[in-house]
Amino acid sequence: MIEILKNIPFFAQLSDEDLSSIMDHVQMNYFPEGHVVFNEGDAGDKMYVIKRGSVEVIHDNAILAELKDNDFFGEMALVSDEPRNAMVKTTAETEVLTIDKYDLAKLMASNENIASTVSYEMVERSKNH
């Protein structure tokens, strides 16, 4: 698992110590094309990093973004403690890695790179919502 994580830029920013502290909780999930990962308004308890595949982010019937390999989503509900602000649906067979809320908070507290990567995307995404 650690080698898989090291090949994904999001996780590659982590120290070996941080990686080993989350490794046992990171899960891999596979979704077919057209699968709703979650709906807008759902409660959120994990963040997703795309290992391979693509998803659309949909809000008010508009596609806000298409995310692909190495992109992440689902961070906003965890950081803001609010419901999911958009629906996410796969547009191809998609493999994701998931991090739970507690681990994301821990990583953001211990690792400046992760904190700035996540905060930067949240600010950019909020501008386009």
Which residues, including other chains, have CB under 8 Å from residue 50's CB and lie 6 or more apart? 67, 68, 69, 70, 71, 72, 73, 94, 95, 96
Within 2-41, the residues that bind ligand CMP by CB under 6 A are: none
Least Å distance, CB 26 to ligand CMP, is 17
Read off the DSSP letter of residue 26.
Answer: -
Which residues, including other chains, have CB under 8 Å from residue 59's CB and lie 6 or more apart? 40, 85, 86, 87, 129
**Options 14-22, 23-31, 80-88, 92-100: segment touching ligand CMP (CB under 6 A):** 80-88
85 makes contact with ligand CMP (CB under 6 A): yes
Least Å distance, CB 75 to ligand CMP, is 5
Residues that bind ligand CMP (CB under 6 A): 44, 57, 64-65, 73-77, 84-86, 88, 125, 128-129
